[in-house]
Amino acid sequence: MAHTPKTGAQVVVQALIDQGVEVVFGYPGGAVLPIYDELFHRKDKIRHVLVRQEGGALHAAEGYARSSGKVGVALVTSGPGATNAVTGLADAMMDSIPLVCLTGQVPSFLIGTDAFQEADTTGITRACTKHGALARDPGRLAETIHEAFYLAKAGRPGPVVVDIPKDVQFAHAPYMGPKDYTPRRSYRPRTEPDPAAIEQAVAMMAEARRPVLYTGGGIINAGPGASAALCALAGKTGFPVTSTLMGLGAYPASGRAWLGMLGMHGTYEANKAMYGCDLMIAVGARFDDRVTGRVDAFSPGSRKIHIDIDPSSINKNVHVDLPIVADAGSALEALVAAWGGRAAPNLAPWWAEIEAWRAKDCLAYRPSDTIIKPQYALERLREALKGRDDVFITTEVGQHQMWAAQFLPFEQPNRWMTSGGLGTMGYGLPAAIGTQMAHPGALVIDVAGEASILMNIQEMSTAVQYRLPVKIFILNNQWMGMVRQWQELLHGERYSESYTESLPDFVKLAEAYGGVGLRAETPAELDGVITEMLKTDRVTIVDVCVDQKENCFPMIPSGKAHNEMILAADAAMFDKGLV
């Protein structure tokens, strides 16, 4: 039902309010000033967070969305504002994060004339969004906004762009609320599993003797009910559980069935179990190359069940025996119900094999009394956080990200925000800002590297302005650590452009922005510095000076199979070509 006409800008802001949006991350410019003017009048309803670069707005919206389960919203201007947002859109697309990005556009009559700050935003972002709309018709503007929110959440979540010409923002337009919007039939995803497929899956599960539940970020996206159903299924069947980087927290790290993360830097036991299983049940995971390694050698002896809401993911990378297109939560609940009161199969021999692999203690490292090992720094952070239920972790990208995944346990979903598919350096700080906005009273920590944090260090200013007490825990080895590790192990120690010279003094940098700066240079200083960090009520950078030569293991080298991991003890032999 159409209501009293409004200006296009009023339509946009009212639509956001009616969609339940509380926070918008953005940066103004000429092509979106009418919307910003309307936000000024409606600031009692929507809070705007001014980032320092549009890329930061998108990552902040990602952190907000990932930690809250809501749709993240960003607002940027035309031209460079929109193009600066592309990395965040691509990141959200790869990791299935629901976002709506509103972009300004030059007036309709100037489109195609190479006008000042004109860019073909919908064309540029077509490959890295679920949907893009150029909203040239004021009469359909409200519908377009509501459609964007529906599409961002429906099926496999992802980013949607709405590009709004400036004249449309001034034009008068009818308004319709979200209840008046009806999604097109083609937009409605299948969420309930085929009962026959569920029965077939249960029959395969009952026959398995070496099963594995391979879980991914789709379970997180499906909501807390999906995680609860996963725990129930693992409890009923006794099946071991492993997870992708994006799925951490869907099953608690303290759970008896937990094997740890799998993949390139996953645990020995998780990767060996995946390689040696006879039944793999993949839920909300997409068989990413960082998980599979060599596809032709990926779990060669197993039958595979794949549950995913995105039909295009089925058989895309790995052929499966039983596809189930459905919402992860609905499918897991159906499996739990169909399993019913069956007795768990005898998996004692399989668990004995897994325990033998676990005994390798693949995350072990050589401690030091004089140099802070990065693993030790995270162990001490983990110890300091014990008993707290209000902790959210974001990361940048690199060695520190993998160490955080290995050494920080996650007991709940939505507590781990990281860039998985795109691997975006600079993600963690703005994501922490978005997470803190979603959870004002929580403890939000960005585990960072000194190279990655500099990618979006300007967002320190955002944290200060909005009094967001995020903590930035830098594992500073003065290298682009993951690049250096690959160069050491795979490129004959030719360290081409991977050493970061002329680093800032991070303590002084934090203080220059108006935050708190702390540093730990020895193991003896570490606990005291972490304690001080946890006491601060302002954005805080902790510069932890760690071993410059430490590598992240286990590691599956590029082009190798799951059972061809390098452990720390193997590294020297690998370097000499003996492994």
Q: Which helix (H) or strand (E) holds 529?
A: helix 523-535
Local structure of 177: helix, strand or coil: coil
Q: Is 117 a catalytic residue?
A: yes
10 Å CB burial of residue 108 (0-12, 13-18, 19+) is middle
Residues facing residue 446 across a β-bridge: 394, 472
pLDDT of residue 1: 47
- Asked if 252 contacts 184 with a C-beta cutoff of 8 angstroms, the reply is no
Instruction: State both tokens at 372.
Output: 């802070």
Express the helix, strand and coil content of the chain in percent, nearest 5 each. Answer: 45, 20, 40
Q: Which of 274, 482, 555, 565 is catalytic?
A: 482
Q: Which of 10, 25, 54, 304 is catalytic?
A: 54
Q: Which of 22, 70, 117, 532 is catalytic?
A: 117
Question: Looking at the domain covering 195-358, what would its CATH class be?
Answer: alpha beta
**Kind of pairing between the strands at 47-50 and 72-76:** unpaired
pLDDT of residue 188: 86
Q: Is 506 a catalytic residue?
A: no
Q: Which of 6, 130, 166, 471 is catalytic?
A: 166
pLDDT of residue 576: 46
**3-186: what fold?**
Rossmann fold (3.40.50)
Cα separation, 284 vs 225, in Å, equals: 14
10 Å CB burial of residue 341 (0-12, 13-18, 19+) is exposed
Q: Per residue of the chain (579 residues), what is the pLDDT tens digit? A: 455 689 999 999 999 999 999 999 999 999 999 999 999 999 999 999 999 999 999 999 999 999 999 999 999 999 999 999 999 999 999 999 999 999 999 999 999 999 999 999 999 999 999 999 999 999 999 999 999 999 999 999 999 999 999 999 999 999 999 999 999 888 889 999 999 999 999 999 999 999 999 999 999 999 999 999 999 999 999 999 999 999 999 999 999 999 999 999 999 999 999 999 999 999 999 999 989 988 989 999 999 999 999 999 999 999 999 999 999 999 999 999 999 999 989 999 999 999 999 999 999 999 999 999 999 999 999 999 999 999 999 999 999 999 999 999 999 999 999 999 999 999 999 999 999 999 999 999 999 999 999 999 999 999 999 999 999 999 999 999 999 999 998 899 999 999 888 999 999 999 999 999 999 999 999 999 999 999 999 999 999 999 999 999 999 988 888 888 999 877 655 444 444
Instruction: State both tokens at 557.
Output: 């080298």
Instruction: State both tokens at 403.
Output: 């160490």
- Assess whether the previous peptide bond of 554 is cis (omega < 30° from 0): yes
Q: Is 166 a catalytic residue?
A: yes
List, by residue range, all CATH 3.40.50.1220 domains of the chain: 195-358
pLDDT of residue 187: 82
Q: Is 22 a catalytic residue?
A: no
List, by residue range, all CATH 3.40.50.970 domains of the chain: 3-186, 374-552
Query: DSSP character for 338?
Result: H
Buried b (16+ CB within 10 A) or exposed e, 242-269: bbbbbbbbbbbeeeebbbbbbbbbbbbb
Q: Which of 116, 411, 493, 511 is catalytic?
A: 116
* Three-point CA angle 15, 21, 23, nearest 5°: 130
> Looking at this protein, which amino acid is placed at residue 23?
V
pLDDT of residue 446: 98
Is 3.40.50.150 the CATH classification of the domain at 374-552?
no
Calculate the alpha carbon distances from 62 to 16, 65, 72, 414, 430 in Å. Answer: 17, 5, 6, 12, 9
Indicate the pTM of the whole model.
0.96
Q: Is 508 a catalytic residue?
A: no
